[in-house]
Structure 1
């Protein structure tokens, strides 16, 4: 891993940068991407930001959210790519990969364990609770003033990846950076309303349907939610990915590992893992080609929803035995 100042110095030399985050973007991905996007523009750089999927509506309030593009014509624009919050290059999504494989200089800014350091320039800090913390430190190294808009974006990233500072990954640094961002102009009330109190009706219906599908293992140590594609489509929630939904599985007394099985299209299932701390779900997710953190991880699996659930539960049972 390179020194962050060396990353900053290398980035200063670039005039045109293409920023990409991971598919099915979450709060840390969106907040980090926008924080860096706005910060580099403060330096007078030509910057573009791309995501393979639409950002969730709860992040529309962030400055620059309307300038994040879907991957159309990316190959014709610029040669320098910055991967933000991507545990590996494939996390950007299948749409991007053919184009990005032909790029030159790449920056890899991330905090996921198991990141293979795939960039020309890599900065991966697995102790960071959120990639947004890394972006804050990078912008500081670049001597970019933290504007209220930048602060708002990075604060959202940290809040969402720390579970509002309640997850075990929260550190003193997380809180110190959050305090600096608040001092820089974060509107706490505006953040709370948009992040947690402005859900589309379809999302609330989806949560209700998900809780109807919640199951608990006989010994009470595992809980999981299954969401078939047809059910999600029926409630009009195909584009909705509520980040806190999986937490209902972990909050049950006695449960050590919670899971969410969501069929994102027929034959493809997205699996989310949450742990109270005893089980390393990042290691668990890697057995299925995924990754993440000690208490929060994910993977994708091919197969029918019942097949994937059976396959994953068998492995989790063995790990917990």
Structure 2
């Protein structure tokens, strides 16, 4: 399959690289790794996402080249959609703009929307798949690409703390460090460059902390009023879910973020016992065993009650 994708890349002149909206570290880093590499070998490449690059990822090479809008009538020989799970998360209009589509992903239940669907659910990050693809292309990985791939792996393994941090993750990361990637530079960019408004928002969010009576799940909530009061944006809520997840005894963490009147994005994180990917699909969303999300309509109270009741059922057995 890697060979087929490589052949498509080699035979294409114009290439679009896209990832899912509300992009995380893996989505953006994988996009930019492939963008930098294909641009260097002479392809006409556009990196696209419907949302902006999060502030803590703007240190990555090529981040200023990512576009949120495609010109009317613009088309491509090939579209490479990364880390999306479903085409709608990147944009269903991409099908009409690309003569061929390739889906590169590591999400379970990833939609087969491409002519080629390279999906490896055992891979710790889509960045790992990009590393494999570039090796298949014969690309001599340089520093900008190495930095992006390392960041993708670090992001999706929770700094190598999550259960998906497998031997391949450490092996590839080690090779990238040997190429010159500075782990502190990446950690500093991701975790040590917070804006003041983010901490103000976090202070408000922590006041909403709810821990279930059984102590096995916990949640935080961010409302539109909180965002307005602090001047923060949705991107400032990245990793807020790790706070309830870090509580001793908590197996599932939930993060409710208001996206509109009567609409909340719900994120789930599991420590392994509960398959939150399956839970999210019950609510019309998707994701991994340990990380998933969904978009729910209703009042904050009604949505919390709905989610908490289902989690109570799932965690009712000791």
State TM-score, norm by structure 1.
0.95
1:193 match: 188
- Alpha-carbon distance in structure 1 between the residues aligned to 2:118 and 2:223: 37
2:158 match: 163
Superposed counterparts of 1:243-262, under 5 Å: 243-262=238-257
Indicate the RMSD between aligned Cα atoms, in angstroms. 1.4
Kindly indicate whether residue 290 of structure 2 is the aligned counterpart of residue 289 of structure 1. no
Kindly indicate whether residue 217 of structure 2 is the aligned counterpart of residue 222 of structure 1. yes
Kindly indicate whether residue 115 of structure 2 is the aligned counterpart of residue 120 of structure 1. yes
Deviation, 1:205, is 1.1
**Secondary structure at the residue paired with 1:122?**
strand
Deviation, 1:103, is 3.5
- Alpha-carbon distance in structure 1 between the residues aligned to 2:143 and 2:302: 47
Change (3 A) 1:74 1:188: farther
Kindly indicate whether residue 31 of structure 2 is the aligned counterpart of residue 33 of structure 1. yes
Deviation, 1:114, is 0.7
Kindly indicate whether residue 312 of structure 2 is the aligned counterpart of residue 314 of structure 1. no
**Secondary structure at the residue paired with 2:199?**
helix
- Alpha-carbon distance in structure 2 between the residues aligned to 1:301 and 1:134: 31
Change (3 A) 1:33 1:74: farther
- Alpha-carbon distance in structure 2 between the residues aligned to 1:310 and 1:264: 18
Q: CA contact under 8 A between 2:75 and 2:97: conserved in structure 1?
A: no
Superposed counterparts of 1:30-179, under 5 Å: 30-73=28-71, 75-92=73-90, 96-101=91-96, 103-179=98-174
Consecutive unaligned residues of structure 2, counting only runs of 5 or more, are: none
State TM-score, norm by structure 2.
0.96
Change (3 A) 1:260 1:75: farther
Consecutive unaligned residues of structure 1, counting only runs of 5 or more, are: none
1:12 match: 10
- Alpha-carbon distance in structure 2 between the residues aligned to 1:99 and 1:14: 16
1:240 match: 235
**Secondary structure at the residue paired with 1:69?**
coil
Q: Number of aligned pairs?
A: 316
Pick 1 or 2: higher relative contact order, CA cutoff 8 A, min separation 6: 1
Deviation, 1:189, is 2.2
Runs of 4+ displaced beyond 3 Å = 98-103
- Alpha-carbon distance in structure 2 between the residues aligned to 1:235 and 1:86: 31
**Secondary structure at the residue paired with 1:210?**
helix
2:262 match: 267
Change (3 A) 1:201 1:74: farther
